[in-house]
Amino acid sequence: MEKLAFGMTQEGKEASLYILENKNHVKIKITDHGATLVSIIVPDREGNMKDVVLGYDNVSEYEKNTGYFGATVGRNGNRIEKAQIVIDGEVWKIPANEGENSLHSGPKGFERVLWEVKKYTDNSITFFHLSTEEEQGFPGNLEVEVTYTLTEENAVEINYCGKADKATVMNFTNHSYFNLAGHESGSAMNQKLQIFAESYTPVKDSKSIPTGEIASVEGTPMDFRTMKPIAQDIEADFEQLNYAGGYDHNYVLSDKAGEMKIMANAYCEETGIAMEASTDCCGVQLYAGNFIDSRTGKGGASYFERCGFCLESQFYPNAVNQENFPSPIVKAGDVFTTKTIYRFYVK
């Protein structure tokens, strides 16, 4: 493992960048700021190395830009209605950061934290953070770890582990934006995607809080059961797409968490790079980068709307407030673990 300086945070702390490489010369780069996945560098069909996730060159750019590029998100990925949860009859208010709602745990999410490196090997690194009750407003003090492993099969495994001293929410995810033509290549919407989900959770309106319904994808633009270009139906006059400005919806993988399964496949015909995504989570959020504003990324690359797509494994949005959704509440003292894998190959 290689360690490089990644700049100083606004608080005057030094951030670092850690580089893992396998026998195939595939590399991943992770910073301790936000336990953030900065780069995934894989070969295309010609053997050229392509960085297939969006990101920035230093910690200052991550601090001043929004979008959660590559971030570890927690304690709660996605949205909580009215920034409020009730656990064991007690009401807890979370700071709102998207109107009256909480998105990705509010303004002090895990993506803003400088994580501690707990351990590492040649092919893995584990980051640790103690999230106090005061940090985000969730109940309990949470000890959380995230481990990135680069396998010899060109897979990036992300393992999360959490334990708290009160019953609390544990709904962690990674927010990487993928572009299988290369992060600097522009729109990713002609890349093909397949999601192994028969249903999704419709939202009420443009605030993207689910109605509580589990709706079939059959006969709608939401259907990705057969691989298709992301752009194929994204501009369809369909209420759900109109609300979100494109795809930004949770797909139902199962009715409970814990069973490992393939959640999605993606493919870029231009480069031949394919990705298989697996998880033991019960849902996955497809976000098509609808609100990426014009900005400069790694190496001076120009980023703009829809130049990357996210597959965020998760509990369903607002699950803590929706009784018919699988619950992300973990009891005091219980250890919660979850895993997501992104495997890359050429075809």
Query: For 152-164, how does the pLDDT look when each residue is reduced to its tens digit (9 = 90+)?
Result: 999 999 999 999 9
Q: Is the pLDDT of residue 287 over 90?
A: yes
**Residue 95 to residue 89: CA distance in whole angstroms:** 19
Confidence bin at 298 (pLDDT 50/70/90):
very high
- Contacts by 274-278, CB closer than 8 A, 24 or more apart: 274/180, 274/344, 274/345, 274/346, 274/347, 275/52, 275/178, 275/180, 275/342, 275/343, 275/344, 276/341, 276/342, 276/343, 276/345, 277/311, 277/313, 277/340, 277/341, 277/342, 277/343, 278/340, 278/341, 278/343
**Residue 189 to residue 338: CA distance in whole angstroms:** 29
Q: Give CA separation, 213 vs 61, 86, 231, 251, 279, in Å.
A: 39, 21, 25, 12, 23
pLDDT of residue 223: 98
pLDDT of residue 260: 98
pLDDT of residue 51: 98
**Residue 343 to residue 311: CA distance in whole angstroms:** 13
pLDDT of residue 81: 98
SS3 at position 185: coil
For the entire predicted model, the pTM comes to 0.98
pLDDT of residue 203: 98
Q: Is the pLDDT of residue 305 over 90?
A: yes
Q: Is the pLDDT of residue 66 over 90?
A: no
Other CB atoms within a 10 A radius of the CB of residue 231 amount to 16
CB neighbour class for 42 (10 Å; exposed up to 12, middle 13-18, buried from 19) = buried
Which pair of tokens denotes residue 240? 């759900």
Confidence bin at 219 (pLDDT 50/70/90):
very high
pLDDT of residue 84: 97
Helix (H) or strand (E) holding 192: strand 192-195
pLDDT of residue 264: 98
Query: DSSP assignment, residue 210?
Result: B
Confidence bin at 186 (pLDDT 50/70/90):
very high
**Residue 186 to residue 201: CA distance in whole angstroms:** 29
Residues 235-251 have a mean pLDDT of 98
Residues 159-172 have a mean pLDDT of 98
pLDDT of residue 98: 96
Cβ proximity of 41 and 92 under 8 Å: no
Query: DSSP assignment, residue 53?
Result: B
Is 104 a residue of the active site? no
Q: Hey, which residues does 21 pair with through a beta bridge?
A: 27
104, 175, 183, 249: which one is catalytic? Answer: 175
